[in-house]
């Protein structure tokens, strides 16, 4: 347990260290989720590092009820190409695989209350993986100080042998005074047969 906790804290510290040069002028959010199978903490920082260069730093740490932990840290460094399109370099760290570099095209779109990000990334390694990552948010205003919040994040990973891993993260809630609360579910499919698992619960998010 101590070793797993140490890995999680090491991952979180790495994200903070890598993001620190731009964190003073960045936006972000911290989300805590309590589920029927695991608890997760999710920290995001995003901002501009140059006129046409943006950066997203993210760390997710999870612990289930059997004290098994998981951790993921990545940076999405993207150079704008115009009309919402960009070229992205994505270093990603997990305790299991260490540091893996990924790269590919990215699209960011915003339309009033709706926003979406689509990243097609290939890992730069001897046996590459192919990643399709999306995030779509819808946040319409209900009253002067209350917003509805809906978000869907998906990740699909393939290699030359087929499907490796997929996840869908769904959040439905309400936002007021920078705080967001609601219901959450994280669904995963693993391996060629897509073995299904899920974590259902509630979340609390604070933007800054």
Do residues 122 and 104 make contact, with C-beta atoms less than 8 angstroms apart? yes
Which domains does the chain carry?
Answer: 2-207 (2.40.160.40)
pLDDT at 25 over 70: no
Task: Provide the whole-model pTM.
Answer: 0.87
* Higher-confidence position of 140 and 2: 140
Do residues 170 and 146 make contact, with C-beta atoms less than 8 angstroms apart? no
DSSP-based three-state secondary structure for 164: strand
Rounded mean pLDDT of 134-162?
A: 97
* Integer Cα distance of 27 and 47 in angstroms: 6
- The band of 3, judged by pLDDT with boundaries at 50, 70 and 90, is low
DSSP-based three-state secondary structure for 20: helix
> Of 1-15, 85-99, 169-183, 185-199, which range is least confident?
1-15
- The band of 5, judged by pLDDT with boundaries at 50, 70 and 90, is very low
DSSP-based three-state secondary structure for 84: coil
DSSP-based three-state secondary structure for 9: helix
DSSP-based three-state secondary structure for 193: coil
> Of 4-8, 89-93, 116-120, 162-166, which range is least confident?
4-8
Q: Which tens digits make up the pLDDT trace of 39-64?
A: 999 999 999 889 999 999 999 999 99
Q: Where are the beta strands (DSSP E) in 17-161?
A: 27-35, 38-50, 53-64, 69-82, 85-94, 98-111, 114-123, 130-138, 141-143, 146-159
């Amino acid at each position: 347990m101590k070793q797993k906790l140490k890995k999680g804290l090491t991952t979180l510290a790495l994200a903070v260290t890598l993001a620190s040069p731009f964190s003073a002028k960045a936006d972000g959010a911290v989300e805590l989720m309590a589920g029927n199978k695991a608890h997760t903490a999710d920290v995001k920082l995003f901002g501009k590092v140059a006129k046409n260069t943006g950066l997203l730093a993210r760390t997710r740490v999870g612990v289930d009820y059997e004290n098994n932990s998981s951790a993921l840290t990545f940076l999405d460094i993207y150079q704008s190409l115009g009309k919402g399109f960009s070229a992205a370099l994505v270093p990603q760290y997990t305790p299991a695989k260490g540091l893996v570099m990924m790269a590919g095209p990215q699209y960011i779109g915003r339309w009033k209350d709706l926003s979406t990000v689509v990243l097609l990334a290939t890992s730069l390694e001897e046996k590459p993986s192919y990643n399709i990552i999306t995030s779509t948010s819808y946040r319409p205003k209900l009253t002067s100080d209350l917003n509805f919040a809906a978000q869907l994040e998906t990740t699909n990973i393939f290699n030359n042998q087929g499907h490796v891993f997929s996840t869908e993260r769904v959040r439905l809630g309400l936002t007021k005074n920078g705080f967001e609360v609601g219901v959450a579910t994280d669904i995963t499919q693993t391996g060629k047969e897509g073995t299904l698992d899920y974590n259902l619960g509630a979340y609390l998010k604070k933007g800054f």
